[in-house]
Structure 1
């Protein structure tokens, strides 16, 4: 090699290295999808246990398809349905098989109502005949096949309908549905948001009964929001929203007999909520869960829909509250699997059909975090847990008798599994802070990795090209507890320099932000801030999840007390580190995190010099009944708990820089929260910054909205921290 070529090679190498160190992440790149990862959309195992189906989108032809793949080879073996072959549907957004997989329910255009609910146009595709049947000419909610595949039940205008796929006949099951009055078959706003389900009807195994919930929200107070839109005059969106301590919907249980068209009400003992219903393996036996208003007294009923006789099969109480899950699973003999925190940690239990405890399947000072299913052939349960540390997730299997436990995942980080129908295989989704989402085919017998499906190595390589530092995990001793923490430092970090500290948290009950998983979109923003000279850190304080019930429920009746104390103390401790400038510590959060950051700035005004609150709760009196009362009881019972930790009452303590942001059409945390906070600050004669995003909901997104929002947040940090 001659001297010129050697010099040129060295120059290029050094330049490349310098470029990697100085190349900056931009907000435009973050919000234009520059760090997007690949996944497997709507992955479903087929009944034969040998194949799986995935929803695919062809960008070139703008068509969607449901394609099937072989587990053993991972090769595509065919297309079950493609929008290219359906004249009535140029595309579809989701699919759902009938029980025998002879028909597929396809969703066309979907319009979002609230967080989980949508209105859409649906078609049934017959796999054998290729015939396409429109379920309804009008937009509908929650269409669901009967188990025998001959009918589809759905909700339209708050009433339940059944369409026969044999002769096309439509039967209207209920007739009294009316906006802001009576809802049949789908949930009201607060059930949807806090019990996380929309479809409130269930078919029985023989397709001759439909059990459903009826919501009478006539006396529930209304909430209204101005929708500014683009017309000369704004419109108004009015909906029923029960705030803490106010009237809830009267919810009742009913069963419709498909054979004779009769509907019967099923009376229950005193209750406030019916958060789950489902038929057991016995077609006449309906499982019903009820809760009292404090949500610390749960009853599981077995209700015979023929005799109208109800039996309390399981009864649990708790000093604080009981979480509702979807883990209830019935075995062939109608014994059932259940998860509970009753020993202090969330674990799996097996009960007989009469509610007698047969066995506590899992135990230990760790939490079961997901229940995947039961293999009757092997008598084996599959689950996810934090046995390998609360920031990690691993996949396990265990015998129904609690013996012969197997660790099926092999990599430390976050593992999640989708099992084949016969539990021969599972597709493992793995990620960590050093590995993007990686999909692999694994043996369900021993967890052995068989093949890689998706690697996402390009995203990792791209992030590496920016020369960012790793997210570092540790614990910090705060108020007697070892709290999980992550920290991102500038790539050229010098321990002898002083850096401003920007803290992020959410802190809501049972939540977790410190997790060994690949990055969310906020993380790329944090990397960008670190590139610009900030140390970014996050601490999960008391009240967060996956460390046992006592740690999580310590905040009961006083949300915002211990969580705020932990963030303030953590900031003090971090401020004592040689590389942190204790005079430049900021904090931010969204929703519950905005409630927290507001309180931290006001109550910790000697620690925090700035804060950002996006869509914050400023008084739990303004928030919904189910969420708030679960942790606080009612404001009538616990006024001090509501007011002692409301930032509204500490506005006069503002000394730092404060940015308050909200969407005007936030149906969840109402703009009322920020408006009342603004008024409190004005009357305290405190200067602050604020921004309202017109017609944006709790997520504050759409078009360039997120780019604009994060530009504002970034500029505020640069100017004030």
Structure 2
């Protein structure tokens, strides 16, 4: 239910309110047909119209990979043979559809299988992930699938496993202890015995996420496991209460907050699997921190990011981070004694990071070296250290531009392959390209030269790579390349957007504006109505995500629908997204722009950028400016409505972390710093708290939150609600019962409410009553 402090508003009153803020109401009455035309450009409608857009592949071995192709006839799962350069069906689609249909108890279309991933299980069966469940399917004969395992439901025998490198064993957490299962026989063995509630082994709990998966790293020989015992016994709780008839469902878990004296700590251990022995490393407990983000596990492989075994399994390297992320220590552990040696460390004034998407440091014990990532020269470059002395040997890469991801190191040839941005003059600084470089230094070799964003997937032996390159305006071309010289070995797929263009779809328009300093280029995307008329005046809506860990625009690869930007534009708006200063991928100074002042939220850049666009384009109506965002974007939207109220007339803030003292400790302590309070009770976190600025609201504000949001607790929005009531301010509130952070099944409803709110309050128009979004049904 939508709550409104003024009571129910009539459409006419809404239009009048828009006029009172300077919005020149057009007075149009939009119909269901208008909304239906806009809905044509929502992701679930336009994505299926892009044919042969293969963004990634999954290698099966050194010479074969599979991928999902799509065209007007449906989905096709193909297996590519590098030797022949040909692709064929990865399995019998009809047989698998029939087998899955029997397991699900309902028909499954062979052309719309909906498989997220598949792999060959050790026993030869097909391991299929479909709609949150794993199915093992025997494709021999008529083909049969088992009943499936629900990935989202805990329970004995249903725990998610981490498979050993030899694929013979799977490690998992049960009753706060680490167990291992023999894949062939199903026999289970308990590896640790002293795990207790909130002090368990390999447990996954970052506060904002808490799952049943195991966080660990197997040794390459599959004989040992590196993991930790995670002590949360003194960590404070988070509690959510469900909405239902009868006694409410209560969820309670450990959730450390900024400034807490006691936060989650980890004790590092090495487990000998065969001997069932636990070796505790001889060091003090470490902070639950990462050099990559705000959790020990946040990379794409769901592993333990800052831990690497030697290739011969003879030693273990890891990086420890200080609570405030300003210091990182590179350490090596003796796997027989538990002794730990600190090889070197790096201290920085703001925060240390080791890459984008994955950690970039590499442990090379055979040559007694370490590849280390650092932004010490204002750019993310690689450096080679001596493992024995801890001394710097030399820089591997130099100059402007960032190494974003180290994908492979060949110790024998002393060659390293990496993705990088901003290293080529005249190329969009957000486009990732692919390089190789010698560990001994020298100029990197560009292996993927097209001025586009490149998604790279290396073969297991590193000889080849699949390269899908595209831009926000050009669909992907996917080729197979030689990893030594970048030579194209063959084409895997070339996207066709004919069916998409036939709907009238238009690509977003890239643009640049100057930042708050008047000289730094900021990059953004603009979305116009497909029926754009330059003689008209259009309200403008700024979609925002302020970071600091990412930005508003998102990936620079092709995407036919970025959120609902084009659909919203279709209702008569100009929609923009601008990556402001304080977001990543550019220089360290750019990223540090508002360190220690997270209430900034890139808003000085949004304001000057919008004003520059308003001067550049007469069809932008700067008297009607709106903003919306989700999570960090919800936070930023409220900040804009409170502190820049003369510019922003309408805002929609979804699931915002409005006071980071009420959010999990690690995220804000990295970007704002540790909480420091004076004798007067004031702290360095006071200014970032949105509720402290509620008196500044002038325009229309819609606050939304899911009541079971276990990422950003709903109390964050209620703090703002409380302050607005005390300030006697008018606002709108939408609480979605039992919804998580992204709203789940209620997300189409939230999208429609978002459209309604901007149509009524920013455009001054009348929206159709209770339009029903029509996402495809499973």
- TM-score, scaled to structure 1: 0.84
Report if aligned partners of 2:381, 2:398 keep a CA contact under 8 Å in 1.
yes
Residue in 2 that maps onto 1:350: 384
Is 2:406 aligned against 1:368? no
Report if aligned partners of 1:53, 1:69 keep a CA contact under 8 Å in 2.
no
Change (3 A) 1:305 1:444: closer
Report if aligned partners of 2:508, 2:525 keep a CA contact under 8 Å in 1.
no
Q: How far apart are residue 281 of structure 1 and its match?
A: 2.3
Is 2:733 aligned against 1:690? yes
Residue in 1 that maps onto 2:419: 384
Task: Provide the aligned C-alpha RMSD in A.
Answer: 3.8
> Following the alignment from structure 1 to structure 2, what is the Cα–Cα distance between the partners of residues 191 and 278?
25
> Following the alignment from structure 2 to structure 1, what is the Cα–Cα distance between the partners of residues 213 and 522?
35
Q: Aligned pairs, how many?
A: 679
Report if aligned partners of 1:106, 1:125 keep a CA contact under 8 Å in 2.
no
Change (3 A) 1:58 1:162: farther
Is 2:709 aligned against 1:666? yes
Is 2:687 aligned against 1:644? yes
Change (3 A) 1:348 1:366: same
> Following the alignment from structure 1 to structure 2, what is the Cα–Cα distance between the partners of residues 105 and 291?
40
Matching residue within 596, 605, 609 for 2:636? 596
Higher RCO, 1 or 2 (CA under 8 Å, sep at least 6)? 2
1:229-267 deviation line (CA, Å, top 9, x unaligned): 5x5432111111111112212311122223432222213
Residue in 2 that maps onto 1:188: 205
> Following the alignment from structure 1 to structure 2, what is the Cα–Cα distance between the partners of residues 86 and 335?
52
> Following the alignment from structure 2 to structure 1, what is the Cα–Cα distance between the partners of residues 470 and 613?
28
1:542-577 deviation line (CA, Å, top 9, x unaligned): 211112111111322110226222223333444444
> Following the alignment from structure 2 to structure 1, what is the Cα–Cα distance between the partners of residues 72 and 188?
37
> Following the alignment from structure 1 to structure 2, what is the Cα–Cα distance between the partners of residues 720 and 601?
14
Matching residue within 354, 362, 365 for 1:329? 362
Change (3 A) 1:404 1:412: same
Change (3 A) 1:255 1:58: farther
Report if aligned partners of 1:95, 1:104 keep a CA contact under 8 Å in 2.
no
> Following the alignment from structure 1 to structure 2, what is the Cα–Cα distance between the partners of residues 700 and 590?
11
> Following the alignment from structure 2 to structure 1, what is the Cα–Cα distance between the partners of residues 404 and 186?
43
> Following the alignment from structure 1 to structure 2, what is the Cα–Cα distance between the partners of residues 110 and 30?
21
Q: How far apart are residue 155 of structure 1 and its match?
A: 1.9
> Following the alignment from structure 2 to structure 1, what is the Cα–Cα distance between the partners of residues 40 and 80?
36
Change (3 A) 1:336 1:70: same
Is 2:377 aligned against 1:310? no
Following superposition of structure 1 onto structure 2, how do residues 301-700 of structure 1 map, counting pairs within 5 Å?
301-324=331-354, 325-331=358-364, 332-333=366-367, 335-354=369-388, 355-376=390-411, 378-386=413-421, 387=423, 388-403=427-442, 405-458=444-497, 461-463=499-501, 465-466=503-504, 468=506, 470-480=508-518, 481-491=520-530, 493=532, 495=534, 497-514=536-553, 517-518=556-557, 520=559, 523=562, 525-561=564-600, 563-577=602-616, 578-637=618-677, 640-700=683-743
> Counterpart of 1:303 in 2: which secondary structure?
strand
Report if aligned partners of 2:656, 2:716 keep a CA contact under 8 Å in 1.
yes
Q: Could you tell which deviates more after superposition, 23-32 or 158-167?
A: 23-32
> Following the alignment from structure 1 to structure 2, what is the Cα–Cα distance between the partners of residues 280 and 476?
47
> Counterpart of 1:523 in 2: which secondary structure?
coil
5+ long unaligned stretches in structure 2: 1-33, 105-112, 290-295, 297-305, 763-778
> Following the alignment from structure 1 to structure 2, what is the Cα–Cα distance between the partners of residues 60 and 522?
21
Q: How far apart are residue 618 of structure 1 and its match?
A: 1.2
Report if aligned partners of 2:53, 2:475 keep a CA contact under 8 Å in 1.
no
> Counterpart of 1:52 in 2: which secondary structure?
strand
1:425-447 deviation line (CA, Å, top 9, x unaligned): 21112221221233222232332
Is 2:289 aligned against 1:251? no
> Following the alignment from structure 2 to structure 1, what is the Cα–Cα distance between the partners of residues 510 and 167?
52
Q: How far apart are residue 311 of structure 1 and its match?
A: 0.8
> Following the alignment from structure 2 to structure 1, what is the Cα–Cα distance between the partners of residues 513 and 73?
48
> Following the alignment from structure 1 to structure 2, what is the Cα–Cα distance between the partners of residues 284 and 378?
22
Residue in 1 that maps onto 2:299: none
Report if aligned partners of 1:416, 1:428 keep a CA contact under 8 Å in 2.
yes
Change (3 A) 1:651 1:131: closer
1:153-177 deviation line (CA, Å, top 9, x unaligned): 2223332111234654321012344
> Following the alignment from structure 2 to structure 1, what is the Cα–Cα distance between the partners of residues 159 and 399?
42
> Following the alignment from structure 1 to structure 2, what is the Cα–Cα distance between the partners of residues 177 and 105?
34
Matching residue within 44, 51, 54 for 2:64? 51
Q: How far apart are residue 227 of structure 1 and its match?
A: 2.2
Residue in 2 that maps onto 1:237: 251
Following superposition of structure 1 onto structure 2, how do residues 137-216 of structure 1 map, counting pairs within 5 Å?
138-165=156-183, 168-179=186-197, 181-190=198-207, 199-216=214-231
Change (3 A) 1:347 1:96: farther
> Counterpart of 1:642 in 2: which secondary structure?
coil
Q: Could you tell which deviates more after superposition, 536-545 or 37-46?
A: 37-46
Change (3 A) 1:240 1:152: same
Q: Could you tell which deviates more after superposition, 610-619 or 354-363?
A: 354-363
5+ long unaligned stretches in structure 1: 1-21, 112-119
Matching residue within 301, 311, 316 for 1:286? 316
Q: How far apart are residue 461 of structure 1 and its match?
A: 4.3
Change (3 A) 1:104 1:629: farther
Report if aligned partners of 1:594, 1:612 keep a CA contact under 8 Å in 2.
yes
> Counterpart of 1:385 in 2: which secondary structure?
strand
Change (3 A) 1:697 1:404: same
Change (3 A) 1:488 1:67: closer
